[in-house]
């Protein structure tokens, strides 16, 4: 059974994902994800909203050097920022993304908090229950 994963991504990288210029989202830790799992993309400040849905194509795990050498054209990041992100890390994780869909109407954090007042966006990822999430989304009346 596929998983539903809420992932926080900076706005500048979400724009690159939506345009197709970035197809690998970088992380320092390995998500509990498999090909076919659904990613709910939460765009961080200043937007603070769920803005897109995508699917996990593959999980890449290698050294930062190998990640850059083999996948730099898909990372949507410059070499200086990449090196800073993985400074003092021996492992690079890439979530290869496919089939990205931008939502017609963003779901603002403030709307989510109407249903779940204690909700806070994840630093990296949060695993969601599909049935509860769909029920709650319906209750937002968007």
pLDDT of residue 78: 97
Q: Is 134 inside a domain boundary?
A: no
pLDDT of residue 133: 62
Q: Is 138 inside a domain boundary?
A: no
Q: Is 128 inside a domain boundary?
A: no
Q: Is 35 inside a domain boundary?
A: yes
For residue 132, give the H/E element and its range: helix 130-139
* CATH number where 18 lies: 2.30.130.30
Q: Is 63 inside a domain boundary?
A: yes
pLDDT of residue 79: 98
**pLDDT tens for each residue of the chain, 142 residues long:** 688 999 999 999 999 999 999 999 999 999 999 999 999 999 999 999 999 999 999 999 999 999 999 999 999 999 999 999 999 999 999 999 999 999 999 999 999 888 888 888 888 888 887 656 665 666 655 5
- Pairing of β 4-9 and β 24-27: unpaired
- Other residues' Cβ atoms within 10 Å of the Cβ of residue 8: 16
Number of domains in the chain: 1
Q: Is 93 inside a domain boundary?
A: yes
Which range of residues forms the domain containing residue 36?
4-115
> How far is 78 from 97, CA to CA, in rounded Å?
19
Give the torsion through C-alpha atoms of 31, 32, 36, 41, to 10 deg: -40
pLDDT of residue 118: 87
> How far is 86 from 124, CA to CA, in rounded Å?
15
pLDDT of residue 139: 63
Q: Is 88 inside a domain boundary?
A: yes
Closest CA to 5 of 74, 60, 52: 52
For residue 134, give the H/E element and its range: helix 130-139
Q: Is 125 inside a domain boundary?
A: no
């Amino acid at each position: 059974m596929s998983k539903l994963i809420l992932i926080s991504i900076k706005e500048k990288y979400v724009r690159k994902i939506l345009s197709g210029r970035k197809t690998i989202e970088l992380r320092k830790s390995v998500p509990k994800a498999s090909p076919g799992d659904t990613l709910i993309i939460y765009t961080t400040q200043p937007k603070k909203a769920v803005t897109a849905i995508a699917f996990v194509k593959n999980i890449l795990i290698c050294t930062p050097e190998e990640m850059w050498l083999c996948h730099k054209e898909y990372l949507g990041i410059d070499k200086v920022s990449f090196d800073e992100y993985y400074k003092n890390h021996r492992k690079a994780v890439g979530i290869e993304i496919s089939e990205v869909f931008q939502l017609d109407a963003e779901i603002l954090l403030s709307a989510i908090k109407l249903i779940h007042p204690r909700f806070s966006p994840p630093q990296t990822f949060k695993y969601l229950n599909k049935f509860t999430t769909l029920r709650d989304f319906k209750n937002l009346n968007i």
